[in-house]
Structure 1
Amino acid sequence: MKVISVNLGEKKVINYKGKIVETGIFKYPVNYPIFLGEEDVVNDAVIDRKYHGGIEKAVYAYSENHYKYWKNIYPNLDWQYGMFGENLTISNLEETEIKVGNQYKIGESIIEVTKPREPCMKLGLRFKTQKVLKQFWNSTKSGIYFKVIATGNVQVGDQLILLRKDENSPTIAEVYETKK
């Protein structure tokens, strides 16, 4: 597994059905390292701290491999990494294999798998349809939240090096299935 893209977003204000919504889901690739802090990624917009950021959801990663699946469903979107609101786009990140509690070295940082992402209506804003929410729930392509054990910079090309595998924990896909 390798970092394909590092992504940051700014706060964006959208009028959705007559209601003003603030979001940080519009993330885009940057060409410099990002710093994984204890509760979020430095210089990344985290708007709703009830559902994003914090110790258990400091960093969100999504698999580059899942992009092909979604591009087939939504071919007319302006596709670039960060579409799912992820800070890290990683090759071969597979929810059906990665277990809660696994720890990885990535760049200068050490991260630990905590939970899958549960989609909200803001993903629908990015995809220009709320239909994506049900499709997201009906897949195993949830992406993965990590807590940061050791802070540090991460950049494109960094490898995820497994430090500890938690054999007795469920996979992210198994946890995601119980949330449906």
Structure 2
Amino acid sequence: MPPSSPPGFSGTLLAIQTGRVRPLVVGGRKLMSAIGKTTVAGPIEVGVLGLAGDEQADLSVHGGLGKAVYALPSEHLPWWQAQRQAQGVTMFDEALAPGFLGENLSLQGVLEQDLFVGDCLDFGDVVLRVTQPREPCGKFNAVMGYAQAAKDMVQSGRCGFYLAVDQPGRLQAGASFQIIPGQRSVSVAQALQHKAWKHLR
């Protein structure tokens, strides 16, 4: 597991990404996906269904009120790049770009084992509420370039989390946020393991 964040923590929004639905080849089949995200310059509107200009291909598993925004701790990107190198996907040590794993928000200072379902990220103008961990799928394996990527996400806990928009407004890279605790009964990391166990039964 990655190192823990200190109690009573805050964080920073390093980058914002959005994506359009495009073809993606998975296991020889062409599917539609918006997992590939590109960085947005300047402020962006955040509504109850997510970021302006962001799309989801399959609304049964992505998007909606409870999965309006997907955030990932930026601290995980070097680890994911190392996994790709170990699998021979890339021979280079270049950093993965923000949005490569499909994340809308690249955050610094918050990790899955310290953030709980129901906690809020208060940016001042925008308030986002943690709803659940990301559960990887075959599209994630295709983007990462190796078949064990989804398993690595579950086993490592480096999954990121979905957010509901409790207070719409505008966000811009560089903004700081405070964690407003919820009931704090189940962490994002614990929720991921519980969901994974249910799927494996």
Q: TM-score range by the shorter chain?
A: over 0.9
TM-score (normalizing by structure 2) = 0.83
Superposed CA RMSD: 1.6
Farther-moved stretch of structure 1 (59-68 vs 98-107)? 98-107
1:173: which partner in 2?
A: 189
Q: Is the 8 A contact 2:119 2:181 kept in 1?
A: yes
Name the amino acid aligned to 1:166. Answer: G
1:50: which partner in 2?
A: 60
Q: How does 1:7-18 map to 2 (within 5 A)?
A: 7-18=17-28
Determine the C-alpha separation between the residues in 1 that align with 2:147 and 2:59. Answer: 22
1:151 paired to 2:161: no
Tell me the secondary structure at the aligned position of residue 38 of structure 2. Answer: strand
Shift of 1:107: 5.4
1:15–1:93 Cα change, 3 Å: same
Determine the C-alpha separation between the residues in 2 that align with 1:130 and 1:45. Answer: 25
User: Which of the residues 105, 119, 139 maps onto 1:102?
Assistant: 119
Determine the C-alpha separation between the residues in 2 that align with 1:18 and 1:119. Answer: 19
Determine the C-alpha separation between the residues in 2 that align with 1:18 and 1:175. Answer: 32
Q: What number of residue pairs does the alignment pair up?
A: 179
- Deviation track 1:83-120 (CA, whole Å, cap 9, x = no partner) reads 11110000122100011111221252111111000001
Q: How does 1:109-128 map to 2 (within 5 A)?
A: 109-128=126-145
1:30–1:17 Cα change, 3 Å: same
Shift of 1:122: 1.1
- Deviation track 1:11-43 (CA, whole Å, cap 9, x = no partner) reads 111333442200000012121222221122210
List alignment gaps of at least 5 residues for structure 1.
Answer: none
- Deviation track 1:37-60 (CA, whole Å, cap 9, x = no partner) reads 112221012111001111110110
